[in-house]
Structure 1
Amino acid sequence: MNKFSSIFGQILQIFSKSEFYEAVRETKADKGVKGFSCWGQFVAMLFCQLGQAHSLREITGGLATCMGKLRHLGIEEAPKRSTLSYANNHRPWQMYERVFYTLLDKCKGLAQGKKKFRFKNKLFSLDSTIIELCASLFNWAKFRQTKGAVKLHLLLDHEGYLPVFANITEGRVHEVNIARRLSFPKGSIIVIDRGYVDYGLFAKWTEEGIYFVTRQKDNARFRVIRDNPIPERGKILRDSVIEFEGFYAKEDFPYQLRRIEVWDDTKGEVIVLLTNHLEFGPTTLAAIYKDRWQIEVFFKTIKQNLKIKTFVGTTPNAVMTQIWTALIAILALKYLKFRSTFGWSLSNLVALLRYNLFTYRDLWEWLNKPFETLPILYPKKSCDFLGTPIVPDVEQLPLRGI
């Protein structure tokens, strides 16, 4: 460990500078940059996420009050509010999208084998969430007559529960439009809710060897071909092989489906599932759909613990920059969680990191033993062997623990 680097500084070391500046070059984010670097903007916006800063004033003020602690972050001084605002408004958000996918590759290596189910098929959940905006301030984010919003479309890999694809659109863009543009490895299982029910899309996935599990729409017309045996005990009420009867439904999807009725104790109702997977047991398919809840947990975690509900800028570029840095922050937290032996929840990790960002501890030791790792203090020795007083360099030596 570098003794002169805070926990925040060690988190930044996860990001390769060479890969970061490659993303800068590819997106031409440094075009016309004078003084305030792209790395400085990234440090400030990541501090906004991990430090829970609510405004440009809190970001710049929070960094400015860390006297002598900024050099190890790769910046000389805290930016001015106008400087950071200009950078967020004009430097392309695509740079942060590239950084996100670069970090994702590192996380995938640590997430291998961290999955709930034993089957070899890749399991994904696809969903979206609305991020509401004030219509008068964000007049470009059209959603409804009196409301503005953007929509975060996300694909969650259940191996490590990593967000492997993200797309941010205006709030009125339908989820199916994004689903049609995605491609998956053959044999993948996609878990979706009823908002993605599109029989033409289902036919395309079936022809490509991709499986889906979803809820049946209430107005679906179908014919039962046969009933499969069900477990004597459990919550499976019926397992049938069906085909659609409606003219347009049958024309769009001329294949057979499984229709599974499952009793839900939580809601006290019957849930009807549809899938084109004809081999898995009904209990397994029900468990697969139940695990879709993890993407809802992901949305809840990112909204409650990171800054994507209030924004420090109002332009489209500033909003996109802040959302992508939130996604980068959640990946960084996942990376730390994977490398830790302590039983962290993401919300607890975010909270304790916020209190310790500028303390001087060994990050990896602290992750494993958060309540036992002491901060690094000044050395007690005040004179060298000739009796000359030692004057510490405040730009390098760590301050006493907060």
Structure 2
Amino acid sequence: MVRHASLFSQLVALFHRGHFFNTVFRHQAERYAKGFSSWDHFVAMLFCQLAQAKSLREICGGLSCCLGKLRHVGVKKAPNKSTLSYANAHRPWQMYRDLFYQTLDVCKMGGPGRHRFRFKNKLLSLDSSTISLCLSLFPWAKFRRTKGAVKLHLLLDHDGYLPTYAYISNGKKHDVTIARKIALSPHSIVAMDRGYNDYRLYAYWTESQIYFVTRLKSNADYTVLEERQPPFNRNILADELVQFNGHYARKNCPHTLRKVTVWDNEQERQIVLLTNHLEFGATTISAIYKDRWEIESFFKALKQNLKVKTFVGTSENALYIQIWTALIAMLLIKYLKFKSRFNWSLSNLVAFLRWNLFTYRDLWEWIDKPFDVLPGTAQSVQYPLPFKGIGQHQLKMGT
């Protein structure tokens, strides 16, 4: 007797159907729909991510062979390739963006509470990743003369390492342009690399009581105002208060900043950090920047485990839908990892989930005990010999 729906059905059931249809109505996604609903479209694209389907044929074929197991999610008919392709090209991708933020709210309620540092400030990381595209297939995404690309900009919250802000732009847009659009709360701390170097942005954040930790440009012109005593037996080489000397640098950022020089033992080099936080210890500033590597790990996991490098559609709308669906799938996987008592790695959880998408087990029991066999599922059956009186040696010889 089957007591549970498939794991995929239970994952889809985590989405509130009422909120979903409110989002559909707000974006008028059903305005020109003829039989293929937005819900069926979302289930198909989520299946593309979790099952790692490589083409429209694999999505439609995979749903067709499992159609009887999709009744619990409200899908009655698998789409045709042309129907799914048309929906990807014309259904508004903004609906999937709003669905991402709705899923994020659910994950925040079930995720871990705080980051690993002692301070109570909100810790964030800001970075972008370039997704390369074939210019002949994606002519709208022109990046270089013979190369196409889009950029995925993320703001990662270190409370559970969840992306709290995402933005997809063309490959030519500068990272600082996106950083100016992000609304940050006062007293939060943002860790970022040198790509976000902008003195006017530093001044705005300092005046808004928003702290940042970044790398200092190698050719920066500054004056040392105060030298602080670095901590003993640490990798801190220098701790100084500085002010920029250049005319435009002084005009755009007249505030006193802090320069912390750190020795990297692994790569045997100096790392010069710049921050506007003057109270934390130099070791804490160094640890904040080191924890920024988590956003690099997030991009790596997203590209290796989900479908954001090969696409099932070539239009801009189809590409945006697939990327936003990948981010939604990543939130689901993170949520399962938070709830599980099993020591999952992210890649193993994605792989095991792909192999068991249509297994009939309780989802929350499965993520805790994935290797347990349910009672009655594996029984040893002894079959009698076909004829009595035949010896074992005769049966082996075929006589």
Using structure 2 for the length normalisation, give the TM-score: 0.93
Aligned pair in 2 of structure 1 residues 67, 111: CA closer, same or farther (>3 Å)? Answer: closer
| 5+ long unaligned stretches in structure 2 | 379-399
Query: In structure 1, what is the equivalent of residue 101 of structure 2?
Result: 101
Q: 1:114 Cα deviation (Å)?
A: 3.8
Query: In structure 1, what is the equivalent of residue 385 of structure 2?
Result: none
Query: In structure 2, what is the equivalent of residue 115 of structure 1?
Result: 115
Task: Tell whether the 8 Å contact from 1:237 to 1:261 is kept in structure 2 after alignment.
Answer: yes
Amino acid at match of 1:156: L
Structure 2 counterparts to residues 107-146 of structure 1, below 5 A:
107-146=107-146
Query: In structure 2, what is the equivalent of residue 190 of structure 1?
Result: 190
Task: Tell whether the 8 Å contact from 1:308 to 1:323 is kept in structure 2 after alignment.
Answer: yes
Query: In structure 2, what is the equivalent of residue 151 of structure 1?
Result: 151
Q: 1:95 Cα deviation (Å)?
A: 0.7
Structure 2 counterparts to residues 2-81 of structure 1, below 5 A:
3-81=3-81
Task: Tell whether the 8 Å contact from 2:129 to 2:153 is kept in structure 1 after alignment.
Answer: yes
1:239 aligns with 2:252: no
Distance in 1, Cα, partners of 2:374 & 2:314: 41
Q: 1:375 Cα deviation (Å)?
A: 8.4
Task: Tell whether the 8 Å contact from 2:342 to 2:367 is kept in structure 1 after alignment.
Answer: yes
Which shifted more, 112-121 or 179-188?
A: 112-121
Using structure 1 for the length normalisation, give the TM-score: 0.92
Identity of aligned residues (%): 60
SS at the partner of 1:219? coil
Query: In structure 1, what is the equivalent of residue 86 of structure 2?
Result: 86
Q: Aligned pairs, how many?
A: 378
Distance in 2, Cα, partners of 1:9 & 1:112: 25
Q: 1:112 Cα deviation (Å)?
A: 4.5
Amino acid at match of 1:220: A
Aligned pair in 2 of structure 1 residues 60, 177: CA closer, same or farther (>3 Å)? Answer: same
Task: Tell whether the 8 Å contact from 1:361 to 1:375 is kept in structure 2 after alignment.
Answer: no
Task: Tell whether the 8 Å contact from 2:243 to 2:255 is kept in structure 1 after alignment.
Answer: yes
Task: Tell whether the 8 Å contact from 1:125 to 1:191 is kept in structure 2 after alignment.
Answer: yes
| 5+ long unaligned stretches in structure 1 | 379-402
Query: In structure 2, what is the equivalent of residue 162 of structure 1?
Result: 162
Aligned pair in 2 of structure 1 residues 203, 145: CA closer, same or farther (>3 Å)? Answer: same
Q: Deviations over 1:327-352 (max 9, x none)?
A: 00000111111111111121111000
Query: In structure 2, what is the equivalent of residue 250 of structure 1?
Result: 250
Q: 1:266 Cα deviation (Å)?
A: 1.8
Distance in 2, Cα, partners of 1:22 & 1:53: 28
Amino acid at match of 2:172: R
Distance in 1, Cα, partners of 2:4 & 2:256: 63
Task: Tell whether the 8 Å contact from 2:67 to 2:78 is kept in structure 1 after alignment.
Answer: no
Task: Tell whether the 8 Å contact from 2:141 to 2:149 is kept in structure 1 after alignment.
Answer: yes
Distance in 2, Cα, partners of 1:68 & 1:23: 27
Which structure has the larger Rg over C-alpha atoms? 2
Query: In structure 2, what is the equivalent of residue 389 of structure 1?
Result: none
Task: Tell whether the 8 Å contact from 1:359 to 1:375 is kept in structure 2 after alignment.
Answer: no
Distance in 2, Cα, partners of 1:65 & 1:309: 26
Structure 2 counterparts to residues 231-310 of structure 1, below 5 A:
231-310=231-310
Distance in 2, Cα, partners of 1:3 & 1:58: 29
Distance in 1, Cα, partners of 2:338 & 2:121: 22
1:348 aligns with 2:348: yes
SS at the partner of 1:8? helix
Q: 1:73 Cα deviation (Å)?
A: 2.3
Cα RMSD after superposing both structures: 1.5
Q: 1:377 Cα deviation (Å)?
A: 5.7
Q: 1:39 Cα deviation (Å)?
A: 0.6
